Amino acid sequence: QVQLVESGGGLVKPGGSLRLSCAVSGFTFSDYYVSWIRQAPGKGLEWISHISTGGYTIYYADSVKGRFTISRDNAKNSLYLQMNGLRAEDTAVYYCARVRVWAVDYWGQGALVTVSS
């Protein structure tokens, strides 16, 4: 069955860095766009980034552009999100997601990132 499992979340101080990983299984990872979507506590969903099958097409929301970097390793069936210059407003649950026809058909369980001093 399709699975996406995030790791790497945690507590970090403002200005700090964190790297999220997402290990996928149950499907041919290299055939799909994948994305990171976040949800701040008590708030709605925000699509922050996605990456194409070969990694050549990448989008970032304005809120993270220049601070976050998405990448993938198709050989390792893994998606990554390098987060630098973290701010309090980046506190959220971060979901790894499989994208098909611009819809998310499978979600990870989410990784909580808390930015606080």
Partner 1 sequence: QSALTQPASVSGSPGQSITISCTGTSSDVGGYNYVSWYQQHPGKAPKLMIYEVSNRPSGVPDRFSGSKSGNTASLTISGLQAEDEADYYCSSYTSSSTGVVFGGGTKLTVL
Nearer to partner 1, 9 or 110 (CB): 110
Contact between 35 and partner 1 by CB under 8 A: the answer reads yes
Query: What type of residue is 69?
Result: T
CB of 117 to partner 1, least distance (A): 27
How far is the C-alpha of 13 from the C-alpha of 86, rounded, in Å? 8
Strands 92-100 and 103-107: antiparallel
Q: Which 37-96 residues touch partner 1, going by CB under 8 A?
A: 44-48, 50, 59-62, 95
Q: How many residues does the chain have?
A: 117
Nearer to partner 1, 76 or 100 (CB): 100
